[in-house]
């Protein structure tokens, strides 16, 4: 008989697993379920687990110690056969992890730029189906848009490429359509039209800050020395997580990276505007990085389109085009 556990299937929709009633997670086990246990221990209690055990999803000594600490703090004991907590993950421990991960996920989010902050915009601006910029958008303080080319480097993690893929061609085409109205262009560096590289990286825990920085470092290892190009990485961020995120001020080994973008291969907006949406975040100064447009026809609306029949998010506003044309990845 199998126990159909909701192991960490909280608001982020992490994949449920099936655990046999007689099975326990003990030292020596490996696999995705072990990785989920480690992820929960890190998130809930910030317990220390050795990096190698995390990367290989191995139930090693440090994972066992973290499990023991988790169970001791909560007095998780099966009194039918034990008198004190042990370092084994069984049904009672799984239930506790499930419960606390649901609570944790409801109160935490990735620390990127995509926070719902709305900023006032010029009145009278209305969308056009042909992406044209309506004359009513012109105000006394019309932002200056420079005719430049945006340089982006797109890569994808190996697991995302195999299991999910990403409609990069559609995302790039929408971005090009939006930019062309302002005399701007988009250049996919190191690529003839698709992802330039595949990164061999375990992307099951992308909501953890450590994993965000490690993936950015892995991208640098694959292709380095591109400071004036926006790095865009498609990866598995969870089916109910944001469509994408922009990160800034991330450092490792004394090196601080310029803003970079993750695209969620497990959750894609119907308009695939996430690429240009996140590029705008990366182009804005830090003080304005979290703002969004209030109009739900804008590519920079606070969230992507999820329902058929809703307004298409396909309009690039002059203010946002100006930010892109003056970004660190524009030439």
Specify the CATH number for the domain of residue 67. 1.10.101
pLDDT digits (tens, 9 = 90+) for 240-260: 788 999 999 998 878 899 999
Q: Which residues contact 42 (CB under 8 A, 6 or more apart)?
A: 49, 54, 205, 208, 210
Give the pLDDT of residue 35: 83
- 244 and 129 housed in the same domain: yes
Domain termination site, one of 107, 134, 164: 107
- 80 and 157 housed in the same domain: no
List the one residue out of 35, 8, 12, 40 whose CA is nearest residue 239. 12
Domain count, the chain: 2
* Residue 3 to residue 244: CA distance in whole angstroms: 34
Give the pLDDT of residue 67: 95
Task: Let me know: does 236 contact 32? Beta carbons within 8 Å.
Answer: no
List the one residue out of 197, 223, 201, 14 whose CA is nearest residue 102. 14
Cα-flanking dihedrals φ and ψ of residue 105, to 5°?
-65, -30
- 32 and 103 housed in the same domain: yes
The distance between the two most distant Cα atoms of the chain, rounded to a whole number of Å, is 78
pLDDT-derived band at 268 (thresholds 50, 70, 90) equals very high
Could you tell me what percentage of the chain is helix, strand and coil, using 3-state DSSP and rounding each to the nearest 5? Answer: 35, 15, 50
Please indicate, yes or no, if residue 331 is contained in any of the structural domains: no
Cα-flanking dihedrals φ and ψ of residue 286, to 5°?
-55, -35
Please indicate, yes or no, if residue 304 is contained in any of the structural domains: yes
pLDDT digits (tens, 9 = 90+) for 39-84: 788 878 878 888 788 878 899 999 999 999 999 999 999 888 889 9
For Cα atoms 59, 62, 64, give the angle at the middle one, nearest 5 degrees: 55
Report residue 173 as tokens.
């085409």
* Mean pLDDT, residues 147-154 taken together: 97
- 58 and 201 housed in the same domain: no
Lowest mean pLDDT among 90-99, 144-153, 268-277: 90-99
Task: Let me know: does 266 contact 239? Beta carbons within 8 Å.
Answer: yes
* Residue 200 to residue 304: CA distance in whole angstroms: 28
- 147 and 288 housed in the same domain: yes
* Mean pLDDT, residues 180-195 taken together: 94
pLDDT surpassing 80 at residue 188: yes
Identify the bridge partners of residue 330 per DSSP, sorted by sequence position. Answer: 150
Give the pLDDT of residue 235: 96
Domain termination site, one of 107, 128, 148: 107
pLDDT-derived band at 139 (thresholds 50, 70, 90) equals very low
* Residue 153 to residue 159: CA distance in whole angstroms: 19
- 199 and 318 housed in the same domain: yes
Domain termination site, one of 107, 130, 148: 107
- 241 and 132 housed in the same domain: yes
Please indicate, yes or no, if residue 141 is contained in any of the structural domains: yes
Average pLDDT, the chain: 83
6: domain range? 2-107
What's the whole-model pTM score? 0.67
- 44 and 156 housed in the same domain: no
CA distances to 99, 138, 153, 209 from 106, in Å:
11, 41, 33, 17
- 208 and 284 housed in the same domain: yes
């Amino acid at each position: 008989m199998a126990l159909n556990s909701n192991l960490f299937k909280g608001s982020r929709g992490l994949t449920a697993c099936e655990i046999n009633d007689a099975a326990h997670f003990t030292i020596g086990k490996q696999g995705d379920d072990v990785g989920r246990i480690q992820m929960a221990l890190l998130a809930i209690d910030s317990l220390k687990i050795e990096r190698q055990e995390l990367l290989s999803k191995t139930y090693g000594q440090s994972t066992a110690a973290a499990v023991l600490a988790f169970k001791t703090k909560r007095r998780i004991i099966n009194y039918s056969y034990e008198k004190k907590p042990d370092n084994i993950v069984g049904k009672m421990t799984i239930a506790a992890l499930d419960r606390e991960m649901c609570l944790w996920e409801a109160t935490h989010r990735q620390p990127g730029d995509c926070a719902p902050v709305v900023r006032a915009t010029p009145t009278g601006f209305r969308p056009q189906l042909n992406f044209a910029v309506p004359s009513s958008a012109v105000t006394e303080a019309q932002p200056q848009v420079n005719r430049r080319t945006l340089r982006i480097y797109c890569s994808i993690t190996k697991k995302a490429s195999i299991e999910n893929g990403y409609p990069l061609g559609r995302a790039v085409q929408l971005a090009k359509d939006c930019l062309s109205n302002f005399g701007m262009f988009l250049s996919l560096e190191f690529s003839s039209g698709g992802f330039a590289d595949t990164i061999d990286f375990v992307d099951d825990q992308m909501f953890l800050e450590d994993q965000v920085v490690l993936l950015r470092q892995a991208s640098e290892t694959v292709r380095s020395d591109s400071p004036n190009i926006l790095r865009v990485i498609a990866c598995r961020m969870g089916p109910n997580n944001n469509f994408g995120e922009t990160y800034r001020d991330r450092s490792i080994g004394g090196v601080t990276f310029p803003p970079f973008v993750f695209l969620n291969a497990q959750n894609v907006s119907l308009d695939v505007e996430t690429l240009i949406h996140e590029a705008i975040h990366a182009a804005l100064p830090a003080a304005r990085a979290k703002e969004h447009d209030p109009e739900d026809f804008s590519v920079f609306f606070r969230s992507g389109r999820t329902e058929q029949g809703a307004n298409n998010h396909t309009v690039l506003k002059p203010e946002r085009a100006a930010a892109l044309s003056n970004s660190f990845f524009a030439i």
